[in-house]
Every structure is written in C-alpha cells, then in structure tokens.
A and B are shown apart, each in its own frame.
Chain A
Amino acid sequence: MSTLDIKGLQVSVATEAGFTEILRGVDLTIKSGETHAIMGPNGSGKSTLAYSIAGHPKYTITGGSVTLDGVDVLAMSVDERAKAGLFLAMQYPVEVPGVSVTNFLRTAATAIRGEAPKLRTWVGEVKEAMKSLNMDPNFAERNVNEGFSGGEKKRHEILQLELLKPKFAILDETDSGLDVDALRIVSEGVNRVKGNSDLGIMLITHYTRILRYIRPDFVHVFAAGKIVEEGGPELADKLEEKGYAEYTTA
C-alpha cells in the first residue's frame, strides 16, 4: 500500500513578464488502488499539476510538497521519480526520431527494473501487451511517436504503463483526440493494469466521457490553480449536466 501525498503545492512558470503562478496550493492524497478524476476547464492548471509531479524543468515549485510514501518526490530527478513508481501518460507524447519503440521500451524497462529484462520473456511480454491494445506488431519497429496518429500515441503511452508497472499513474487528458473505439481500448488497458496491480490513478480530463470506462472513486474539480470541490462519482454527473460555469465565474 502506497500513498502519493500532495500538500499545498504552488507552482510558477517563467514568462517574459516574470513568474506567473499557476498552482495556488493543491492538496490531494491518492492511495494505491484508488482512482481520482481531476476535472476542470481548460487553463485551470490540471496539466501543470501533472508535469510538476513528473518534474518537467519548465515549472518552478514555489511552495508545498509532494511525497511518495513519505519520501520527497520534488528532490528527485525526473528519472528517479519514474524509478520511485510514478508514471505520466502525456497528452502530447514527444517524437524521438531514430529511436525505435523496441529499443526505447527495453531501455526504459531496464532503467525502471534495475536490470535488463530477460530477452525471451521480454519479447513475449511486449507482444502480449501490444496485442491486448490492438497494436500492429510492426509498431515496435517504428520510431518513438514519429508519425503516430493521435490514437497510436495514446496506446503507446498505455503500453508503457503496462510494461513499466508504476505505483501511481497520472493520465493527462488521455481521452483527448480519441474516437470511441480507441477510447474503449485505451480505457480497457488502464483497467487491466489496475486489475493486475494496485495502481493508484490520477485521471486528468476535461470531459466526463472517459469516466464511463474508467470509474473514479473520487472526483475533484480544479479551477484557477486549485481544487475547489470534491466528491464521489456523482460529482462528475453534475459536471456533465452543468459544466464548469459556476467554478469559473465565482
């Protein structure tokens, strides 16, 4: 049982005009096996929260803390955070020309597991995971995210989730740009990982659509850089009906 604990997190980003505060004191605790949906309007800081936890250099932490089982995450380098058990499925996965998916996955798995996976079992493992995500086997020979469709990029993110087996996954707008079939496949992938492990999930989304496939235990409404309302799955239904107007005009 692990705990990801975010307390009073304040984050700024450098702009031409100086530092702009984006997160204004975020408190959130996620335990293993729990799924927390973070919902909010565009520009409310949801992605900043995701990238700050993963350690993107663009963001400066100005206050608060993030701990994983009591260990300071913010003091870790980006790769150390991944090794500690954090995973960020990105909204816009980055193209890495000339680096094949196979090479990338094996290098990542080697880093996370601390030793190179045994080749024979590894090949089977990758094949199986790709098959369940409806991915063409040729996919492994392509360069990381290069020329991938939106759906392929998201499947590739979930493929990594399956293979790297983190303690906590942050899914940043994983549903964006997916058609219904792709959304179902990707969601099934997430649910499968959760079923096979004790994964804790922070599911960041603008729309309630993905919540029909990945059921949240908790819903948090995010506006202007912090959580403004919390509740159970029923809160998502309310958002579906009324939108974010009451949080943005308040």
Chain B
Amino acid sequence: MSTLTTNYLAPTGREEAWRFTPLARVGGLLDSTVPLESVNSISISNPQNGVKLTVKSAADCPAISSSEDLASIRGREFIREISHIEVSNNVQLELPVLLKRSSLTGKPQASRTLISCGVNSHATIILQNTGEAILSDEFEFEVAQGATLTFVSLQEWGNKTVHLGRQHAIIAKDATFNSIVVTVGGSLVRLLPTVEYSGPGSSADLQGLYFATDGQHLEHRLHVDHNVPNAKSRVNYKGALAGDKAHTVWIGDVYIRSNAEGTDTYELNRNLLLSDGARADSVPNLEIETGEIVGAGHASTTGRFDDEQLFYLSSRGIPAEIARRLVVRGFFAEIVGKIKNEEIENRLMDRIDAELAKVGA
C-alpha cells in the first residue's frame, strides 16, 4: 500500500476553490484514507517521427510547476512513473498526435504526463478521454521558445466517471500554446487549464466547450498568470446545459502582475440554458497590478434559448427539435471548428445531438 501523506488536508467545500464541487461525489480522490493507484494511462496511437513517449520514474521527473490544487498535489504524492512526451526541436508535425487512455480501472487512480515541445517545434496533440475512470490527472506542458503547441483535451467519458484534472502550460519567449477543452462526458469533471509564461512575446489561446445534461457536474477553472511583459491571452468557453440538475461551473482568473506591462488579455464565457432545472455558474476575475497594458477585458453571459431564433427557423418549415439542434450546433461550431478534424467534430456533435434528444430539450 502506498504511503499516505501526513500533511494533506481534505477540502471541506468551504474553500473558494471547492465551493461549487459536489465533494460527496469525488469517489475517494480527495479522501485522506483512500490511497491512489499510480497509472501510466497514456499512449500514442499513431506514432510518427519527431515525437516520442517515454515512461520515466516520477522521482527523476518532478513536476515543473508548483500547484495550489489539492487534487494534483495529492496525486503527485502517489505517482511512481510519469509519461513524458517530447516533440523534437524545429520539427513540424504534419499529423496531430493522438493520445489514448488505457489501464483505467474505475478505482481511484492518479496519472501525470509531461509534454515538452522543443524550440521552434510545431505540434497538435489530441487527447481522447473515454471509458470509465476515477482519475486524478495532471498534464504539464513546456512550450519552448518559438514553439507552437495545440493541445486538444476531449472528455468523452462514460457517465460514471470522476475526473479531477490540471493542465498547466509554461510558455517560453515567442511561443504559443493553444488549448481546446471539450467536456461532454463524465459524472463529475473538474478541470484546471492554467497558464504561466517564461518569456515575453508569448501567447495563450484557451478555448473550451462543455455540455451538461441530467445530474452532470462539469467544472472548468482557468487561471492565466501574466507574469512577464508583452504576453497575450485569450479565453473563450461556451457551455450548454439541459436537463434536471445539470450543473456547470466556469471560473476565469486572470492575474496581471506589476511587471507584466504590455499584457493583452480577454476572456469570455457564454452559457446557454436549454431547460429548467439546470444551473450555470460563471465567475470571471481580473486582477490587475499594472496599468501599462494593451488591454484587459472579460465578459460572461448566461441566457436561455433564443425564442426568436427558434421562430425564425420554424417559420421556414424546420421542426422545433431540428431547429434546436441547429442552434446548439451553431453555438458550439466556433469552438469545435478549431479542432480542425472533421471526424472528431462529427463525433462530438452527434453525441451532443443524441444527448439533446434524450433529455427532450
């Protein structure tokens, strides 16, 4: 049995970070009496030149970032081995790297992955989360100078899954990190896409989509730490909710430090409530310590289905059910289109259509 951490204090739900999360449903991931099994769950399903995955001892590969997130802190205590994915310097990967999960047991497990993109490299990595799991999961990205990494994280879990995840990027000078997070599956998913910079001229674009139906809790807590001058960030998350007790949480924290002159940031969250009984929490936070910036803004909207859109489509003979589907697809199209993969796009939209039909929204 793994050693249990002695200084670990389980969250009570009164903490700011956990106040929205249904802690009774986290399946032992935060319970100090429950050990987590260390798992190497990641594999590349389409190996190609310029990228390699190595399993390494966690002791030799400590985390590259500090975390305040209790779930990932606790996960790190149990991790024995990590998956290290490296994209070579100056390589331009032609095809997206597809990451699959395996060895997930549905019992409490912890997994950690480090993705290192070499200088001036260019890669798209797509992670498909499927099956059932109770998983504390951490991804760290080091995006070296001049590199561009697009990371797509698809949460297509089964309906019992608990997934507490942290996805933290450190972006070097003139590098770009694009994140596309899509969460449609799972019983409880709580993801922390977070970003810090290690050099100026760097850029982060964090896009996300979530769709919650009956009883699902889907939580995304973003944090962008503008800790260098002249960096840029964009955040755009869109969510739709349908059915009883569907709950989504979006937190967008942007912190502009006193040395971060020339920062350019904008974050946006839009939620679409498709039926009664669903709840969307949306909290943008902008903390600014310097006025010498290009721009900083945020917006958050939560609205019901637009009856005028529905009327317009219906007045052209389109039945209400198909009209709703068109509008929801349209709402998500902006984000899904960024994945630039027709097969994934169709799969996601089909799943959303099917779940819409199931809840009769």
Question: A78–B315 contact, CB under 8 A?
Answer: yes
* Contact partner, B316, options A56, A103, A108, Cβ 8 Å: A108
A79 lies within 8 A of B314 (CB): yes
Given A98-B334, A99-B329: A104 and B313 interface contact (C-beta under 8 Å): yes
Chain B 274-307 against A: per-residue CB contact (8 Å), 1 yes, 0 no?
A: 0000000000000000000000000000000011
**Binary per-residue interface labels of chain A (51-94) against chain B in the complex, 1 for a CB within 8 Å, 0 otherwise:** 00011110000000000000000000111011100011010011
Query: A54 — which chain B residues lie within 8 A by C-beta?
Result: 315
Indicate with 1 or 0, residue by residue over B309-331, a CB within 8 angstroms of chain A CB atoms. Answer: 10111111111101100110111
Q: Does B308 contact A (CB under 8 A)?
A: yes
> Is there contact, CB below 8 Å, between A79 and B317?
yes
Q: Shortest beta-carbon distance, B304 to chain A, in Å?
A: 13
- Decide: B315 and A107 in contact? CB cutoff 8 A: no
- Number of A residues whose C-beta is below 8 Å from B? 30
- Which A residues, 39 to 58, have Cβ-Cβ distances below 8 Å to chain B? 54-57
The answer, among A79, A82, A88, A107, for a CB contact under 8 Å with B320, is A79
Residue of chain A at shortest CB distance from B325:
A107
Q: Provide the bound-state CA to CA distance between A77 and B319, in Å.
A: 9
| B307 contacts A96, C-beta separation under 8 Å | no
A55 contacts which chain B residues (CB < 8 A)? 311, 314-315
Q: Mark B137-179, 1 if CB is under 8 A from A, else 0.
A: 0000000000000000000000000000000000000000000
A239 on interface, CB distance cutoff 8 Å: no
Q: Is B64 an interface residue (CB 8 A)?
A: no
- Residue of B317, B330, B332, B334 near A96 (CB, 8 A) is B330
Say how far B169's CB is from chain A's closest CB, in angstroms.
28
CB-CB under 8 A from A97, the residues of chain B are: 330-331, 334
A120-133 interface bits toward B, Cβ cutoff 8 Å, 1 = contact, 0 = none: 00000000000000
A95→B311 CA distance, assembly (Å): 11
Our pick among A93, A96, A112 for the contact of B326 (Cβ within 8 Å) is A96
Q: How far is the CA of A81 from the CA of B327 in the complex (A)?
A: 21
Partner of B311 from A57, A108, A111, A112 at Cβ < 8 Å = A57
Q: Is A205 at the interface (CB under 8 A from chain B)?
A: no
B322 touches A82 (CB 8 A): no
Nearest CB of A to B15, in Å: 37
A10 within 8 A of B: no
Contact of B307 among A57, A81, A90 (CB under 8 A): A57
A164 to B329, CA, bound (A): 23
**Complex-state Cα separation, A221 to B168, whole angstroms:** 68
Q: Decide: A164 and B316 in contact? CB cutoff 8 A.
A: yes
Shortest Cβ distance from residue B50 to the other chain A in the assembled complex, whole angstroms: 34
Q: Hey, which chain B residues are within 8 Å of A176, CB to CB? A: none
Report B356 CB to chain A, min CB distance, Å.
Answer: 15
Q: Which residues of B contact A99 (CB under 8 A)?
A: 326-327, 329-330, 333
Partner of B332, one of A87, A94, A98, A112: A98
Interface of B is mostly: helix
Cα of A57 to Cα of B306 in the assembled complex, Å: 12
With a cutoff of 8 Å between Cβ atoms, the chain B residues found around residue A107 in the complex are: 313, 318, 322, 326
Nearest Cβ on chain B to A214's Cβ, whole angstroms? 21
Q: In the complex, A143→B309 CA distance in Å?
A: 13
Nearest CB of chain B from residue A108's CB, rounded to whole Å? 4
Contact B316–A98 (Cβ < 8 Å): no
Q: Could you tell me the distance in whole angstroms from the C-beta of A233 to the nearest C-beta in chain B?
A: 29
User: In the complex, are the beta carbons of B317 and A94 less than 8 A apart?
Assistant: no
A108 to B318, alpha carbons, bound, how many Å? 6
**Could you say which of B311, B313, B317, B329 contacts A56, with CB atoms under 8 Å apart?**
B311
Give every chain A residue within 8 A of B332 (Cβ-Cβ): 98
Most chain-B CB neighbours within 10 Å: which of A81, A87, A111? A111
A99-B326, A99-B327, A99-B329 known; A94 and B316 CB under 8 Å? no
Look across to chain B and name the residue whose beta carbon is closest to the beta carbon of A114: B317
Q: Complex: how many Å from CA A96 to CA B318?
A: 14
Q: How far is the CB of B313 from chain A (nearest CB, A)?
A: 7
Report whether A94 and B311 are in contact in the complex, using a CB–CB cutoff of 8 Å: yes
Do B330 and A143 have beta carbons less than 8 Å apart?
yes
Tell me which residues across on chain A come within 8 A of B307, comparing CB atoms: 57
Asked whether any CB of chain B lies closer than 8 Å to the CB of A160, the reply is yes
Closest chain B CB from A140 CB (angstroms): 15
- In order of increasing CB-CB distance, the 8 nearest A-B pairs are A98-B330, A82-B317, A98-B333, A78-B314, A111-B317, A108-B316, A94-B312, A99-B330
What are 22 A-B contacts defined by CB distance under 8 Å? A55-B311, A55-B314, A56-B311, A77-B320, A79-B314, A79-B315, A79-B316, A79-B320, A83-B317, A90-B312, A93-B312, A96-B309, A96-B312, A96-B313, A96-B327, A97-B331, A97-B334, A98-B329, A104-B313, A104-B316, A107-B313, A111-B316
